[in-house]
Amino acid sequence: MTPADISVVIPAINEAQSIAYAIRSALQAGASEVIVCDGGSDDETVSVATAAGATKIIRSIPGRGIQLNAGAVFASREMVLFLHADNQLDASCLNQICEIPDVVWGAFQQRIDHPRRAYRILEKGNAARVRYRGMAFGDQAIFVRRAVYKQAGGFEEIELMEDVAFSRTMRAIARPVLLSGPITISARRWEERGIVRQTLRNWNLQCRYRLGASPRQLAKRYC
């Protein structure tokens, strides 16, 4: 397998400011198929994505799980990588996948785009979650063999926690591989709310989901 055998799917809604960087990072990493699934943007997301070199742009009703599945329908390569529109792949990321024989699925270590030391702690914690709990989140660029993705039924089309639900399903099939990446992600969520507050908020949502709260209820709290 080579990087050209990996489809990159990017769900987006109103990501005109960042999506070009995500697309270019995928192309520079060697992807030959970059699919943007737009959930109804009312900004310049689609035109920016086209100019940045996206190979396919499709329309979908909004909802990350819905958009991820819709994009994957058009993926034709052996492996599918799901990339958030405000994340960027390191140039070596796709090669790292290709170097692992018989890899089934996995994710990458992160580099949060901010120099504060607290973010280095967050990065290590997020990596440990994949390594020891087998739980990958969407902003770690989950990748999976397309045949296994179809076997697993894809993402649940829920308002929130689609990545958690997918990881639960996938870790029953195989343990995820954690690659060094890194995936560069924006610090905007933590900067807007504060590192501690945002982290506690994320933990609270995860705990409530594990205890049975509906994704729709959680999505209202997340907004």
Q: The tokens 């905007």 sit on which residue? A: 188
Is residue 207 one of the residues assigned to a domain? no
Q: Is residue 217 part of a domain?
A: no
Residue-number span of the structural domain to which 14 is assigned:
3-188
Structural domain contains residue 153: yes
| Cα 208 versus chain centre, distance | 22
**Measured between alpha carbons, how far is 46 from 90 in angstroms, rounded to an integer?**
23
**pLDDT given at position 214:** 59
Q: What are 105's strand-pairing partners?
A: 144
- Reduced DSSP (H G I as helix, E B as strand, rest coil) percent helix, strand, coil of the chain, to 5: 45, 20, 35
pLDDT at res. 89 = 98
Q: Quick one: pLDDT at residue 191?
A: 77
Domain membership of residue 59 (yes or no) is yes
pLDDT score for 205: 67
Number of neighbours of residue 10 by Cβ within 10 angstroms: 27
Residue 25 DSSP symbol: H
Reported as a single tens digit per residue, the pLDDT across 5-57 is 999 999 999 999 999 999 999 999 999 999 999 999 999 999 999 999 999 99
- 222 located within any domain: no
pLDDT of res. 197: 75
- Of 99, 103, 58, which Cα lies nearest the Cα of 79? 103
- The pLDDT value recorded for residue 161 is 81
**CATH code, domain with 49:** 3.90.550.10
- Can you give the pLDDT at residue 73? 96
Residue 194 in any domain: the answer is no
Q: Which of 217, 76, 66 is nearest to 155 (CA)?
A: 66
Distance between CA atoms of 43 and 14, rounded to whole angstroms? 6
Amino acid at 3: P
pLDDT of 212: 61
Residue 214 lies in a domain: no
Instruction: Report yes or no on 126 lying in a domain.
Output: yes
Number of separate domains in the chain:
1
Specify the pLDDT at position 84.
96
* Confidence (pLDDT) at 194: 76
Number of Cβ within 10 Å of residue 151's Cβ equals: 12
Residues of the chain scoring pLDDT < 70? 202, 204-206, 208-223
